[in-house]
A and B are shown apart, each in its own frame.
Chain A
Amino acid sequence: MKLHKILMAAGMLLASSVALATPATDELFARYKAEGAAGFDAARGDKSWHKESRGEDGKLMSCATCHGEDLSKEGHHHKTNKVIGPMAPSANKERFTDVKKIEKWFKRNCNDVLARECTAQEKGDYLKFLLGK
């Protein structure tokens, strides 16, 4: 049956491209929606992840400044050089499993890189982007 095979291939493709999710991120997506965000987009998250803005000391920085370009690898804090575990859930099982932790770092890091807190929409987009890594 040709159709059967096509369906199976499509199913497998879907399964491999669908972003992982954790109970924590499910909870956060629901929360962000309740706060007014509408649909989350990994591509948009990717774009703002790499968008540079002036940090506190006047240097251009983005999320990638500390987290690095390859999210399956470790990053380094831009000032203290302290190792930051990989952001990709595929490389770091503990990522995105703790609601409090995720929110804590969004608050801190948005303030440090963007000099403001992130909107619910932005946070959802970032999560969508990162979950696919």
Chain B
Amino acid sequence: MRTNFKTALLAAALLMSSGSALAEGNFWMWLVNFSRQKEVQPVDNKAYKDECGSCHFAYQPGLLPGKSWAKLLDEKALADHFGEDASLDKDTLKEIYDYTMANAAEKSYFKRSRKIALATEDGEAPLRITEVRYIKRTHHDIPEKMVKGNKDVKSQAYCNACHTKAEEGIFDEDTVDIPNFPKRD
């Protein structure tokens, strides 16, 4: 009996310690994970990082719902991507498309992605990060002079201008540092 109890403890400890490494890749891992991921899953696809990240901050797939990614990552849409030609060859496009589909906000078990997915109305497909309801809501009280009127920020679309750990998928308020303005408590 006693050994059985010990084994159970060991198994539980193993589950707990491996939890953070495995994160919440699926529902079961999410259920047994005692250090739940609060943020957004960092980008872990090379093609995505290279292709999207060569022109702008590589927004994590978990920042937008799948419907948004589907609209953005269409061959025709990419030829006029917010005014720029961002066309990709078929194979690369497919890889990136599939990657975003598998990791879109509503597919992710990361807390912030869940919030983004929950705040998105049915059928809504925001194309700009600044149109995402959750992001709009969490940024609404930031004065314009700190963003638009700030030469080192210019737009909320440049996440990493203020979110110092944006590349790691961390958007926590403690990691925010707005250029040209003292750190807020």
Q: Is the pairing of A and B real?
A: yes
Identify the A interface with B (CB < 8 A): 56-57, 77, 79-82, 100, 104, 107-109, 111-112
B29 on the A face (CB < 8 A): no
A110→B154 CA distance, assembly (Å):
26
Closest 10 CB pairs of A and B: A111-B85, A108-B85, A80-B56, A56-B83, A112-B85, A112-B84, A82-B55, A82-B56, A77-B55, A80-B55
Q: In chain B between 79 and 132, which residues have their CB closer than 8 angstroms to a CB of chain A?
A: 79, 82-89
A100→B90 CA distance, assembly (Å):
12
B54 on the A face (CB < 8 A): yes
B contacts with A, residue count (CB < 8 A): 15
Q: Does A108 contact B87, Cβ atoms closer than 8 Å? A: yes
6 further A-B contacts with Cβ under 8 Å, apart from A81-B158, A104-B89, A111-B79, are A80-B55, A82-B55, A104-B87, A107-B87, A108-B85, A112-B84
Q: List 25 A-B contacts (CB under 8 A).
A: A56-B83, A56-B84, A57-B83, A77-B55, A77-B56, A79-B82, A79-B84, A80-B55, A80-B56, A80-B57, A80-B158, A81-B158, A82-B54, A82-B55, A82-B56, A82-B57, A100-B89, A104-B87, A104-B88, A107-B85, A108-B85, A108-B86, A109-B85, A111-B85, A112-B84
A56→B154 CA distance, assembly (Å):
20
Q: Name the B residues within 8 Å of A80 (CB-CB).
A: 55-57, 158
A35→B85 CA distance, assembly (Å):
23
Residue of B nearest to A117 (CB): B85
Identify the B interface with A (CB < 8 A): 54-57, 79, 82-89, 154, 158
State the Cβ distance, B160 to closest chain A Cβ, in Å.
Answer: 10
Residue of A nearest to B158 (CB): A80
Q: Name the B residues within 8 Å of A111 (CB-CB).
A: 79, 85
Residue of B nearest to A100 (CB): B89
Q: Name the B residues within 8 Å of A57 (CB-CB).
A: 83
Interface centre among A77, A80, A100, A112 (most CB of B within 10 A): A80
Q: Name the B residues within 8 Å of A81 (CB-CB).
A: 154, 158
A82→B57 CA distance, assembly (Å):
8
State the Cβ distance, A24 to closest chain B Cβ, in Å.
Answer: 16
Q: Name the A residues within 8 Å of B55 (CB-CB).
A: 77, 80, 82
Q: Name the A residues within 8 Å of B154 (CB-CB).
A: 81
State the Cβ distance, B87 to closest chain A Cβ, in Å.
Answer: 6
Residue of A nearest to B51 (CB): A104
A110→B51 CA distance, assembly (Å):
18
Q: Does B89 contact A108, Cβ atoms closer than 8 Å? A: no
